[in-house]
C-alpha cells in the first residue's frame, strides 16, 4: 500500500507541479493542468477508487491541486448583519459547555445540519480573568466521541483535551484550572484522533477571552459587541442541498471552501460606530490562509498576537493568519462616514466583511502607547537548541522527524518550568512544499528567530501557532508551566489528522 501511494504521489506531483507555488496562498484560482499527463495516467486516475486512497495534494473531484488554495472565495454581499456569539462568564466558578448537533439557517429558508457548543452552530465567547479558578463543565451530546481542547490555554495536560481525553457520547467531565496567563484571545475546538477536521468543519469552535488588570487600563475598546468584536473566519463548501458533506470535499492537504462564513454568518456585514473599533480575528478554517487588509488601502493597528498584547500598537497595512492563529487589530472608523465603502478584504480582494458606519455612534478612546512588556531575553537568545523538528511531506504522507503520530509514543520530554529552544525546519519537497502552521498545546512560546533573524515586530509577542514557510527554520523558546502530555502539530487539520503530530511529556 505504501509503495502504491508513493507512485500515486509521484504522478500527482508531476501533474500539479505546473500549477503549484511554493507559498500556500489563496490568491490564485486555477484549474489543474492535465496537459503533461499521458492518456494512460489519466485513465488510471479516473478509474481510481477515492474512498480509501486519496490523491495526495490533489482533489480529483474538483480537478485541482490543493497546494494553492485554488477555490476562490465568494464576495460578501453584506446582506446579513454579523452574528455575535453569546458572551458567557463563570457562574459560581462554573462554565457549562455542551457539544451538540442541531440545525442552523445559514441560507435563508434552509436548515443545515450543524454542530455547536451550547447551540446549534459554533460556540460562545467564554470570558475569564487572570487568577480566576474556573471549572469548564464539558458535556458531549453528540452521537460520536469528542474532546474539548483549549487552544492556547496554559493548562495541565490532563485537562488539555488532546486525543487522550476522549469523551464518549452522553459523558461529562469537569476541567478545573486557574487562569495563569495574561489578557489574550484564545479559542477551543475538538481534538479527537481522526475526526478533529470534520467536527471543526461542522461547527465546533468557540472563543476564550482572558482579561487582566493590564488589559482594562489601556484604554482599549472593550465593550463586547459595541466596539469590541470577535471575528471567526471559516471557509466552507456546501453541497446542492446546502449541507456540509465533509467527506465529499475532504482534501488530504487541507479542506477549503468557496463560501466564507464569519461567526457562521453568510454574506455578513458589521455595523460599527464612527470610532476606533477592536476586531479580534481568528482563522478558524481547516486549511485556508487569509491576508486581511482594508479595501481602502488604509492601515490599521495590530495590538495583539495569539497569546497577548504586542508591546506597542503596530501600524499594519495587512496581516496574514494561518489556521489557528489570532490577531487583535484596531480600525479607526472615525475618518469614514455612512457613505463610505469600507470592507475587510482578503489578499485576492475578495470581500470578507463590509462595514456599515453608524455616524450616531462615536467615542474617543485614547489607546495607551505601551501595551505590554514582552521580551526575548539575551539568555533565551543564547540558549542552544535542544529539540529539533523537521516537518516534511504532503497529503497523507506528512511527517515530523520522519514519523507519523502514534498515541502510544512520546516523542520528547521536557521539564516543567524550564525553557528549551525548539528548532523547527520545514523541509521542502520536490514541488517546493507548503506552509505549515505549527502549534504547541498547553503553552505560549516566543519566536526567537526566523532563519536566524529577529522576527518582524508583529511576531514579537506570545504565540502558540507559527506559520513556517518551506525551507524556513524557526527557533522557539518554549516553556511549559504545567505537567502532562501535550500535542504539537501542523494546524492544517487534515495534516494533523494524517499524522503530522507528536507528543511532548512535561515532567
Ligand atoms: Cu501542514
pLDDT digits (tens, 9 = 90+) for 385-407: 999 999 999 999 999 999 999 99
pLDDT digits (tens, 9 = 90+) for 263-273: 999 999 999 99
For residue 239, report the distance from its CA to the centre of ligand 1, in Å.
26
For residue 502, report the distance from its CA to the centre of ligand 1, in Å.
13
Segment (H or E) for 116: strand 112-117
For residue 371, report the distance from its CA to the centre of ligand 1, in Å.
32
For residue 250, report the distance from its CA to the centre of ligand 1, in Å.
15
For residue 437, report the distance from its CA to the centre of ligand 1, in Å.
6
CB neighbour list of residue 456: distance below 8 Å, 6 or more residues apart: none
For residue 376, report the distance from its CA to the centre of ligand 1, in Å.
27
For residue 442, report the distance from its CA to the centre of ligand 1, in Å.
20
For residue 193, report the distance from its CA to the centre of ligand 1, in Å.
16
CA distance 480 to 442: 7
For residue 65, report the distance from its CA to the centre of ligand 1, in Å.
15
For residue 226, report the distance from its CA to the centre of ligand 1, in Å.
36
For residue 392, report the distance from its CA to the centre of ligand 1, in Å.
8
pLDDT beyond 60 at 108: yes
pLDDT beyond 80 at 443: yes
Residues written for the chain: 507
Cell 466552507, located at residue: 236
Q: What percent of the chain has pLDDT over 90?
A: 84
**Strand-by-strand arrangement of the 473-478 sheet:** 397-400, 385-394, 420-426, 473-478, 446-450
**Average pLDDT of the segment spanning 157-183:** 98
**Average pLDDT of the segment spanning 144-155:** 98
pLDDT digits (tens, 9 = 90+) for 308-355: 999 999 999 999 999 999 999 999 999 999 999 999 999 878 999 999
For residue 67, report the distance from its CA to the centre of ligand 1, in Å.
11
Q: pTM above the 0.75 mark?
A: yes
What's the number of CA atoms in the CB half-sphere (13 Å) around residue 156?
6
What rounded mean pLDDT belongs to the chain?
89
Query: Alpha-carbon dihedral of residues 253, 254, 257, 261, nearest 10 degrees?
Result: -170
For residue 386, report the distance from its CA to the centre of ligand 1, in Å.
23
pLDDT digits (tens, 9 = 90+) for 17-75: 333 333 333 333 333 333 343 444 333 333 333 333 333 334 333 333 344 447 899 99
For residue 255, report the distance from its CA to the centre of ligand 1, in Å.
12
Residue 288 is predicted with a pLDDT of 96
Residue 71 is predicted with a pLDDT of 86
**Average pLDDT of the segment spanning 417-426:** 98
For residue 20, report the distance from its CA to the centre of ligand 1, in Å.
16
For residue 120, report the distance from its CA to the centre of ligand 1, in Å.
29
For residue 43, the SS3 value is helix
For residue 251, report the distance from its CA to the centre of ligand 1, in Å.
12
Residue 166 is predicted with a pLDDT of 97
pLDDT beyond 80 at 85: yes
Residue 426 is predicted with a pLDDT of 98
Residue 17 is predicted with a pLDDT of 34
The model's confidence at residue 364, banded by pLDDT at 50, 70 and 90, is confident
For residue 468, report the distance from its CA to the centre of ligand 1, in Å.
9
For residue 297, report the distance from its CA to the centre of ligand 1, in Å.
31
**Average pLDDT of the segment spanning 172-178:** 98
Q: Is the dihedral of CA 373, 375, 378, 379 positive or negative?
A: positive
CB neighbour list of residue 73: distance below 8 Å, 6 or more residues apart: 26, 235, 258, 259, 260, 346, 348, 350, 352
For residue 391, report the distance from its CA to the centre of ligand 1, in Å.
8
Residue 48 is predicted with a pLDDT of 34
Cell 495590530, located at residue: 302
For residue 344, report the distance from its CA to the centre of ligand 1, in Å.
26
pLDDT digits (tens, 9 = 90+) for 8-19: 343 344 333 333
Q: Which residues line ion ligand 1, judged by CB < 5 Å? A: 436, 490, 492, 495
pLDDT beyond 50 at 291: yes
Q: Please count the other Cβ atoms lying within 10 Å of the Cβ belonging to residue 370.
A: 11
Q: Please count the other Cβ atoms lying within 10 Å of the Cβ belonging to residue 369.
A: 10
Name the superfamily (CATH) of residues 378-506: Cupredoxins -  blue copper proteins (2.60.40.420)
Residue 326 is predicted with a pLDDT of 98
Beta pairing, strands 420-426 & 465-468 = unpaired
For residue 323, report the distance from its CA to the centre of ligand 1, in Å.
10
CA distance 69 to 416: 39
Residue 54 is predicted with a pLDDT of 36
Q: Is-contact 396 492, C-beta < 8 A? A: no
What's the number of CA atoms in the CB half-sphere (13 Å) around residue 329?
23
Report, in angstroms and rounded to the nearest whole number, the Rg of the chain calculated over CA atoms: 22
pLDDT beyond 70 at 418: yes
Residue 60 is predicted with a pLDDT of 35
Domain range list for the chain: 2-68, 378-506
Amino acid at each position: 500500500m505504501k509503495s502504491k501511494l508513493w507512485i500515486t504521489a509521484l504522478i500527482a506531483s508531476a501533474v500539479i507541479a505546473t500549477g503549484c507555488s511554493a507559498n500556500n496562498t489563496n490568491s490564485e484560482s486555477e484549474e489543474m493542468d492535465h496537459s503533461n499527463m499521458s492518456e494512460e495516467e489519466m485513465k488510471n486516475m479516473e478509474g481510481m477508487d477515492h474512498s480509501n486512497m486519496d490523491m495526495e495534494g490533489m482533489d480529483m473531484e474538483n480537478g485541482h491541486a490543493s497546494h494553492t488554495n485554488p477555490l476562490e472565495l465568494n464576495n460578501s454581499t453584506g446582506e446579513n448583519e454579523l452574528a455575535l456569539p453569546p458572551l458567557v462568564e463563570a457562574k459560581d466558578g462554573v462554565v457549562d459547555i455542551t457539544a451538540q448537533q442541531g440545525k442552523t439557517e445559514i441560507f435563508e429558508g434552509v436548515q443545515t445540519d450543524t454542530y455547536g457548543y451550547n447551540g446549534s452552530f459554533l460556540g460562545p465567547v467564554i470570558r475569564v480573568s487572570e487568577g480566576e479558578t474556573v471549572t469548564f463543565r464539558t458535556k458531549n451530546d453528540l452521537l460520536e466521541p469528542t474532546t474539548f481542547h483549549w487552544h492556547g490555554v496554559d493548562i495541565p495536560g490532563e485537562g488539555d483535551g488532546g486525543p487522550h481525553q476522549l469523551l464518549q457520547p452522553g459523558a461529562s467531565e469537569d476541567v478545573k484550572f486557574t487562569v495563569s496567563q495574561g489578557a489574550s484571545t484564545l479559542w477551543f475546538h475538538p481534538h479527537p484522533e481522526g475526526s478533529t477536521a470534520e467536527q471543526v468543519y461542522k461547527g465546533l469552535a468557540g472563543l476564550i477571552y482572558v482579561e487582566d488588570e493590564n488589559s482594562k487600563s489601556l484604554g482599549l475598546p472593550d465593550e463586547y459587541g459595541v466596539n469590541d468584536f470577535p471575528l471567526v473566519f471559516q471557509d466552507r463548501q456546501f453541497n446542492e442541498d446546502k449541507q456540509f458533506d465533509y467527506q465529499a470535499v475532504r482534501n488530504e492537504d487541507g479542506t477549503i471552501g468557496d463560501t466564507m462564513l464569519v461567526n457562521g454568518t453568510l454574506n455578513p456585514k458589521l455595523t460599527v460606530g464612527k470610532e476606533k473599533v477592536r476586531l479580534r480575528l481568528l482563522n478558524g478554517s481547516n486549511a485556508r490562509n487569509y491576508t486581511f487588509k482594508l479595501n481602502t488601502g488604509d492601515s490599521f493597528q495590530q495590538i495583539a498576537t495569539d497569546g497577548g498584547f504586542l508591546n506597542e500598537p503596530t501600524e499594519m497595512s495587512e496581516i496574514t493568519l494561518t489556521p489557528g492563529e489570532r490577531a487583535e487589530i484596531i480600525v479607526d472608523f472615525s475618518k469614514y462616514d455612512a457613505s463610505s465603502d469600507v470592507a475587510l478584504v482578503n489578499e485576492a480582494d475578495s470581500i470578507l466583511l463590509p462595514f456599515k458606519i453608524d455616524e450616531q455612534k462615536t467615542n474617543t478612546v485614547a489607546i495607551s502607547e505601551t501595551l505590554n512588556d514582552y521580551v526575548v531575553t539575551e539568555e533565551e537568545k543564547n540558549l542552544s537548541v535542544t529539540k529539533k523538528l523537521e516537518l516534511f511531506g504532503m497529503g497523507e504522507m506528512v511527517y515530523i522527524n520522519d514519523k507519523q503520530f502514534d498515541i502510544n509514543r512520546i516523542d520528547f520530554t521536557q521539564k516543567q518550568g524550564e525553557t528549551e529552544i525548539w528548532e523547527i525546519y520545514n523541509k521542502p519537497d520536490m514541488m517546493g512544499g507548503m506552509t505549515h502552521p505549527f502549534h504547541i498545546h498547553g503553552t505560549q512560546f516566543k519566536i526567537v528567530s526566523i532563519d536566524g533573524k529577529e522576527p518582524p515586530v508583529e511576531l514579537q509577542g506570545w504565540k502558540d501557532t507559527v506559520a513556517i514557510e518551506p525551507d524556513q527554520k524557526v527557533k522557539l523558546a518554549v516553556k511549559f508551566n504545567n505537567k502532562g502530555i501535550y500535542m504539537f502539530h501542523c494546524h492544517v487539520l487534515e495534516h494533523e489528522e494524517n499524522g503530522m503530530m507528536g507528543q511532548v511529556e512535561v515532567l
